[in-house]
Amino acid sequence: MKVKEVLYTKEEIDKRVRELADTISYDYQGNELILICILKGAFIFMADLIRYLTVPCIVDFVRVASYGSGTTSSGKIVIKKDIETPIEGKDVLIIEDIVDTGLTLSFLVDKLKERKPHSLKVCVFLDKKHRREVEFNADYVGFTMDEGFVVGYGLDFNEMGRFLPDICVIEE
């Protein structure tokens, strides 16, 4: 894996994460939130985000797998590790690193809706809008990006690059 360019620096990321947290705090003021982090990619994003939130929140984690490898998802998605928190009647916000085809998040949203949360929204750090295969709109978006496969800030290419503090485009 070779880094081609830096797309967002850690300063730009930090500024945007603060803005997202302000918006979310405003929207949920007076409420409590359950944040559901999609492992593994969103772990750094959620860790940063919650420290800027001013609404009380609890966290849980879900791991989904889409069969397929490399840089695309296959469409067949399963829950590998479920959340442990009951969400019925609760305000729930899913935290994801990136939405690409939309398959993962539309699957997860459908699954979690069956548990009858009071509200269910989605916050993604990155949005590859033009790559959708199914219609999906996130409620909160960090950055909308175009071409390229990115690593860093928790995102990986075959497990590599998660530790990089910037969002970097790799050579494909």
124 binds ligand IMP (CB under 6 A): no
48 binds, among Mg ion, ligand IMP, none (CB under 5 to 8 A by kind): none
Give dist(CA 157, CA 155) in Å, integer.
Answer: 7
* Identity of the residue numbered 58: I
41 binds Mg ion (CB under 5 A): yes
Q: Which positions are annotated as active-site residues?
A: 100
**Beta-bridge partners for 151:** 168
Q: What is the dihedral of CA 162, 165, 169, 172, to 10 degrees?
A: -30
CB 61 to ligand IMP: min, Å: 14
21 binds ligand IMP (CB under 6 A): no
Contact set for ligand IMP, span 98-117 (CB under 6 A) = 98-104
Contacts with Mg ion by CB under 5 A: the residue count is 1
Segment near Mg ion (CB under 5 A); pick from 7-15, 33-41, 74-82, 162-170: 33-41
